[in-house]
Structure 1
Amino acid sequence: MANTTTLFALLCFLLLLLLSKTANGDAHILETNTTNRNATRPRPPWPPGIHFHTVQLPSLFPSNTCRPSPSISKDGLESKGAILPVLHLHGPCAQAQQQQQQHKPTADETLRQDESRVKTIQSRYRNAVAGADDVSVMKDSSTTIPAKDGATLGGANYFVTVGVGTPAQQQSLIFDTGSDLTWTQCQPCVRSCYKQQEKIFDPSSSASYRNVSCSSASCSALASATSMFHSIIGILINQVRIKPGCSSSTCVYGIQYGDSSYSVGFYGTEKITLTTSTGGVFNNFFFGCGQNNQGLFRGTAGLLGLGRDKVSFVSQTARKYRKRFSYCLPSTSSDTGFLTFGGGASTTKSVKYTPLSASSAGTSFYGLDITAISVGGQKLPISATVFSTAGGVIDSGAVISRLPPAAYSALRSAFRQQMSSYPLGKPRSILDTCYDFSSYDVVSVPGISFFFAGGVEVEIGAVGILYGFSISQVCLAFKGNDDASEVAVFGNVQQRTMEVVYDGARGRVGFAGGGCN
């Protein structure tokens, strides 16, 4: 009996020892999983019903190789409209086409430029809604338009390539919903041209180029699209100080952006070729032929204006495309997106449309009425008047979305609460809610949705919630405005990978998920 008891006790001891080792082993594995970068971070202990994204942290940062989007079928899209590949100015897809390397701004520089752009948008919008003249003051009386080397067009980092002239000369143009005038650098560059990746457009080699008369109605219409003074302030071209709007008998344009970049030259008409397979050729297109251009436009030839003014590309091609276009911005600078006119991918997808805001009528901006924001699937307690006080716009060139102070405060508070299991990092640049993810490759992030007029909910993609400086400093990609009277801006980080559809003829903007990447 004693032997039996002793044997039983020994077996129990061995069993307890085995269980102890197993438990200790599991604890060690769990500890490794929470400290090793190659491990998967478990979902934070959120209450039931919290909606979240699982984010692979490497997906927030670009690759060194070009990754064309497999979701874009050019043959399938061109049957419904015209499609142009969209590339990021600083990604490997663009660099493969460039003859010279351009300065690649740091993340901090990008956000500083973005701040300049947004301030300009807010000022222009405020003046336009108030009915004031929308002008950019040209301060320097000796040179009229100040040159500022290294200045850029804010965060407008995406470009397409179009044909200009007869025969067509390929030109890469930044596309921008916050601008109206389309322009490209032109020979002979009588004052100044910056370096660009293609040969500078030569109107003397085109059979279809024509100057616009300074006495024409088309010349008079430039003021609303270029923020140009028709006053004693002159524009310096070829060392000659002249009155805006006319040089001899030729119409002159002058446009200056919020960062002091500018383009000055002759206003003309030319043939623009998007694609020949769908009839995307437009004769007598009004554009700027730049003879004095300054600011680092990063190797592109100029700008494609997609605003709402009557001189914009959207308005000039309205007879064919009915003011309908869409784009999908890629998830990182290593990927590709698309810009379509007329039909495009959106015709085959479920698009959620919200009407353009009434307050933006008569402006160049695409205004949106924001009604609410949710974090983790739960709407934030924000009064509707917080959003309606100043209104909102969507912009392809602004990087980080700007929100009314009260709305951002609520968003930040809810986001920080639901991310409390992750270590906070130091604020960076204009962003104040940052995390140190150096121990993880995968994190769980609460979903964020915007609600617009008409009951439209737009869920922000996982790549639109975070902005990464480095793996140890990944920040919430939103910022609060300084004042409640400043218009909210829905920026391009939040638009990534979704198809954004602009339907000007019906006065609405739509959103469809899974546009590219």
Structure 2
Amino acid sequence: MAAAAARWAPVVGLLGLLLLPFAPAPAGAATPARSPPSSASSAVFLLSGDVYPTGHYYVTMNIGDPAKPYFLDVDTGSDLTWLQCDAPCQSCNKVPHPLYRPTKNKLVPCANSICTALHSGSSPNKKCTTQQQCDYQIKYTDKASSLGVLVMDSFSLPLRNKSNVRPSLSFGCGYDQQVGKNGAAPATTDGLLGLGRGSVSLLSQLKQQGITKNVLGHCLSTSGGGFLFFGDDMVPTSRVTWVSMVRSTSGNYYSPGSATLYFDRRSLSTKPMEVVFDSGSTYTYFSAQPYQATISAIKGSLSKSLKQVSDPSLPLCWKGQKAFKSVSDVKKDFKSLQFIFGKNAVMDIPPENYLIITKNGNVCLGILDGSAAKLSFSIIGDITMQDQMVIYDNEKAQLGWIRGSCSRSPKSIMSSFP
């Protein structure tokens, strides 16, 4: 996926362009083996990656039997998990691991309920080209796409109670990816981990099988890495700022509703804007009016020692009297932003949550103009979610966040949260 783009607004549809060269799946082959309910334990994973220069955070998932590792881009802004796949592959990127190779008994048939759920979003009148398989196409607003079929295979999930479960979960076997320039760019991940609110997402499937609660959280470190968890037993019991989840007007996304924007504790006098949390977006996006107001406020508060400069990394950058090595070198020159949700729920956005230092030693604004990407709402992306635990609680329909360092092991990180 494009490093600076919001990987967003999936459009799912049946194309039926290619029938995979598989024999029909045996009857019942794609029915998940129901795992015994666990004692509400969380599955925990270490993350790799960063906002800059990698452009995303990813998790290692062990899939198949025998299990093989794959790097998956963590995306709460879409539902479908998919792997680049040798089925055979029509168009695939150079990926870190050998392409996933499904066997003929892994195909999800058209009649499966998860296939119905996948197609019901935007293609309610379409039918499968064959009853033996479930075709999909998913498109993102950065022009990336994945075309393939649904398969079902084992995922190895390490639980906090020291056990390891291996549920069979449905995901996309993508044999035609358009990522980067004509799909030719090397990819740092093998696919995408869809953790959205829909029934197709891995989180919803784990809930249906009684493995974990429908709750997830992530802690993204400014120095790279962090951790991800499924389930509710790692959620802090106090000091979390909670906001009710609302139905987004733009799709089935994680949204706390509208927020008022402040700069240095002063209102920017913009209209409240709809906000969505999306770990699949590297940067934060503001809709047109708040974006322009933010740019004006930042520029008006800067010292004369900073000069605007062109940098290929991002649209708005400044240089200092000498090259910057980290945001701490320059954060004193920038003020904090604040989102106010509802009556008193505050998300503080200090300079380190909206600035990056490029390889050229410049400081750049990691808030982009959402109207350029044709977004009618604002996105809180990875840069703004760094060094705070963000919790997506589908059980109680609420979103939460609590600030703390994410640069250590999950166990030591948890000790810093109440």
Q: TM-score, normalised by structure 2?
A: 0.74
CA-CA distance at 1:200 after TM superposition: 2.3
The partner residue of 2:355 within 463, 466, 469 is 466
Residue 69 of structure 1 is matched in structure 2 by none
Question: 2:45: which partner in 1?
Answer: 84
- C-alpha spacing 1:440/1:172, structure 2 compared with 1 (3 Å): closer
State which of 165, 174, 177 in structure 2 corresponds to 1:290.
174
Q: Which residue pairs with 1:301 in the alignment?
A: 190
Q: Does residue 273 of structure 2 align to residue 374 of structure 1?
A: no
Contact 2:81-2:191 at 8 Å conserved across structures: yes
Letter in 1 for 2:352: V
Mapping for residues 351-366 of structure 1, pairs under 5 Å: 351-360=240-249, 363-366=251-254
1:494 aligns to what? Answer: 384
Distance 1:161 1:82 in 2: 13
Deviation at 1:337, TM superposition (A): 0.9
Is the counterpart of residue 504 in structure 1 residue 394 in structure 2? yes
Residue deviations 1:98-155 (CA, integer Å, cap 9, x gap): xxxxxx88xxxxxxxxxxxxxxxxxxxxxxxxxxxxxxxxxxxxxxxxxxxxxxxxx5
Cα distance 1:468–1:80, how it changes in 2: closer, same or farther (>3 A)?
same
The structural deviation recorded for 1:513 is 0.5
Give, in whole Å, the separation in 1 of the partners of 2:44 and 2:382. 19
- Aligned-partner SS, 2:167: strand
Rg comparison, structure with higher value:
1
User: Residue 345 of structure 1: CA displacement?
Assistant: 4.8
Confirm or deny: 8 A CA contact 1:387 1:404 kept in the other structure: no
Name structure 2 gaps, 5 residues minimum: 1-38, 180-184, 408-418
Q: Aligned to 2:318, which of 427, 435, 438?
A: 435
Deviation string 1:467-497 (CA, Å, 9 cap, x unpaired) is 3335653133323444998111112211111
Note if 1:455 corresponds to 2:344: yes
Give 1:503 shift.
0.6
Question: Do 1:435 and 1:474's aligned partners in 2 also have CA atoms closer than 8 Å?
Answer: yes
- Counterpart-to-counterpart distance in 1, 2:229 and 2:388: 13
Q: Deviation per CA, 1:293-337, whole angstroms, max 9, x where unpaired? A: 3424714221110111111112111243322111122214xx211
1:470–1:250 Cα change, 3 Å:
closer
Q: Helix, strand or coil for the counterpart of 2:59? A: strand
Which ranges of structure 1 fall in alignment gaps of 5 or more residues? 1-77, 92-103, 106-154, 232-243
Q: Is the 8 A contact 2:42 2:234 kept in 1?
A: no
Aligned twin of 1:330? 221
- Matched residues in 2 for 1:360 and 1:369: separation? 9
Determine helix, strand or coil for the equivalent of 1:317.
Answer: helix
Q: Which amino acid aligns with 1:180?
A: D
Q: Tell me if the contact between 2:93 and 2:187 (Cα under 8 Å) persists in the aligned partners.
A: no
| Shift in CA distance, 434/293, structure 1 to aligned 2, threshold 3 Å | closer
Q: Secondary structure at the match of 1:408?
A: helix
What is the percent sequence identity of the aligned residues? Answer: 26
Q: Distance in 1 between matches of 2:113 and 2:141?
A: 27
For the residue of structure 2 that corresponds to 1:367, the secondary structure is: coil
How much is the aligned-residue C-alpha RMSD, in angstroms?
A: 3.3
**Mapping of residues 23-34 of structure 1, within 5 Å:** none
Change over 3 Å in CA distance of 1:451–1:428 after alignment to 2? farther
Judged with a 3 Å threshold, the aligned counterparts in structure 2 of structure 1 residues 200 and 419 are, in CA distance, closer, same or farther, namely same
Q: TM-score, normalised by structure 1?
A: 0.61
> Structure 2 CA distance, aligned partners of 1:342 and 1:186?
29
Which residue is 1:112 aligned to? none
Structure 1 counterpart of 2:256, one-letter code: L
